[in-house]
Amino acid sequence: MKYLIRTYGCQMNVHESEKLAGILESMNYSPCTSASEADIVIFNTCAIRESAEQKTFAHIGELKKLKAQKPSMLIAICGCMSQQNGYAELIKKKFPYVDIILGTHNISDLKELIEKRLATKKKVVAITESEDISGRDNMPKCRTSGLNAWVNIMYGCNNFCTYCIVPYVRGREVSRPACEIEKEVHELVEAGYKQITLLGQNVNSYKGPDGEGEIGFADLLKRLDKIEGDFWLTFMTSHPKDISNELIDTMASSTHIMHYLHLPVQSGSDRVLSLMNRRYTTAAYLEKIAYARKKIPDIEFSSDIIVGFPTETEQDFLDTLSLVKKVKYEQLFMFIYSKRGGTVAEKLDGQVDIATKKERLRRLIAAQEEIGTSVAEKYVGKTLTVLVNDVHPKKKGYMLGTTYFNKNVNFVGDRSLIGKKVKVEIQSSKLTVLTGKIVEEL
Ligand code: 5AD
Ligand code: SF4
């Protein structure tokens, strides 16, 4: 029996697909690379923007013919799109050949749902909401991200940024018990993973059960940092309103935590930030960046920005450009605002036309290209510690690695180096990658 999982969207989904794969492999399914070979195809969907939705619908549509030829092949839809209000009905109507629809809270029920579908021959829909997360990490996980292992520390989001569908499809924030996270990280380090990435929609509001009491994110990091072994620790996503000086101090004094912070700003206009319900000002944001740079001089930042939020004026956009130029992000993820059903921003007057949105995105990309290129240039001539991840997929004789501030590096080497740390002298740079030569193996 073979399975194929198609994953859309963020790292949370990538990791949930690793859990789905773990369940399927415990049922004796093995992976395959094309739907024509598969006995089950799972679409792990994303709902964050309309474009993600359209792409997924198109891909589900492509399976219609194959399913008619091979009715025994199961098709399952899970992830944020299936959890969206009314979407299970929509999927059933649009794609009557889909067998199983499961929500974001039902991933761990996959085995039972497949068995039910096979036994009853009826369509199975399981979309429930529950704050009981005790079963969500119990399955074996088929990890697919090389030396990096994802670890969920919390589920859901309470922030209700006005543009965002996540709180509606992922439910309220619930944190995993600290001892469970500690155990998982410990086991992963023992198993040889070299980078651990903690996952949550807003990791800074982590508040997990710990013995009789509760523990916050900075204390959780301190605890994980004490685990012995050769590994880097990082986390995403941080909300600027919740990131504390204590957290930065913890990063600064830690052994394992990477000098990298993904801190989505979304807009450089205070008026727009307020309409987005982000609950910080650009001044407060810049203060946090400055504090982090003071405590961790070699830290690098990345961010998310939305252009064309309802009512965004040319001046608001210029304020965003100006903030981006001030911060000098190492990397920027830039998005055109997309209207999401059920969110507050959907109903706002002053939706921006698509031509203006595209033009602003183009200008932002151009600005960031210049900034990111100059951020990368400053490393030329420097010697950096690099974790060797893999052989380069395209450049013969080259290896791929990452720095402790999350930048890709290319250098000549061989696969015996995978998993080791090396010192690389940087000789040239591009927007997304540094190139250098190994000067020392650590
Ligand atoms: N339109 C465009 N981008 C969005 N994001 C979230 N919701 C929307 C939306 N409706 C972006 C934000 C967030 C990232 C994961 O996706 O920038 O940080
Ligand atoms: Fe969405 Fe805001 Fe929650 Fe992030 S913090 S998932 S942008 S609502």
pLDDT single digits (tens) 306-324: 999 999 999 999 999 999 9
What domain range is 240 assigned to? 145-258
131: in domain: no
Which ligand is the nearest neighbour of the Cα of 320? 1
Decide: 172 and 158 in contact? Cβ < 8 Å: yes
- Asked whether residue 134 carries a pLDDT value surpassing 90, the answer given is no
Instruction: Verify cis geometry, omega within 30 degrees of 0, for the bond prior to 237.
Output: yes
Domain termination residue (choose one: 126, 156, 182): 126
What is the atom index within ligand 1 of the atom nearest the CA of 264?
A: 18
Q: What is the CATH number of the domain that holds 187?
A: 3.30.750.210
Q: Give the mean model confidence (pLDDT) for residues 7-26.
A: 96
Q: DSSP per residue over 261-298, as a string?
A: EE---B-S-HHHHHHTT----HHHHHHHHHHHHHHSTT
- Asked whether residue 380 carries a pLDDT value surpassing 90, the answer given is yes
205 lines ligand 2 (CB under 6 A): no
Q: Give the mean model confidence (pLDDT) for residues 215-226.
A: 98
161 lines ligand 2 (CB under 6 A): yes
Whether residue 387 is found in the same domain as residue 368: no
Q: How far is the CA of 190 from the centre of ligand 2 (A)?
A: 33
Give pLDDT, residue 47.
Answer: 96
368: in domain: yes
Please identify which residue in the block is written with the tokens 């997929």.
393
83: in domain: yes
Q: How many domains does the chain divide into?
A: 4
263: in domain: no
Which ligand is the nearest neighbour of the Cα of 305? 1
Rg (the chain; Cα; Å): 22
CA 185 vs CA 178, 180, 252, 406: distances in Å: 11, 9, 20, 20
357: in domain: yes
269: in domain: no
Token pair for 96:
């009557």
pLDDT single digits (tens) 113-127: 999 999 998 899 999
- Asked whether residue 129 carries a pLDDT value surpassing 90, the answer given is no
Whether residue 339 is found in the same domain as residue 228: no
What is the atom index within ligand 2 of the atom nearest the CA of 157?
A: 3
pLDDT single digits (tens) 228-247: 999 999 999 999 999 999 99
The model's pTM is 0.96
Whether residue 73 is found in the same domain as residue 158: no
* Residue 15, strand partner residues: none
What is the atom index within ligand 2 of the atom nearest the CA of 167?
A: 8
Domain termination residue (choose one: 321, 345, 372): 372
Q: Give the mean model confidence (pLDDT) for residues 347-369.
A: 97
266: in domain: no
Beta-carbon contacts of residue 204 (< 8 Å; ≥ 6 apart): 217, 238, 239, 242, 243, 244, 247
pLDDT single digits (tens) 195-210: 999 999 999 999 999 9
267: in domain: no
Give pLDDT, residue 130.
Answer: 82
CA 82 vs CA 43, 76, 100, 160: distances in Å: 10, 10, 10, 19
* Residue 335, strand partner residues: 306
- Asked whether residue 95 carries a pLDDT value surpassing 90, the answer given is yes
Whether residue 6 is found in the same domain as residue 34: yes
Give pLDDT, residue 128.
Answer: 85
- Asked whether residue 383 carries a pLDDT value surpassing 90, the answer given is yes
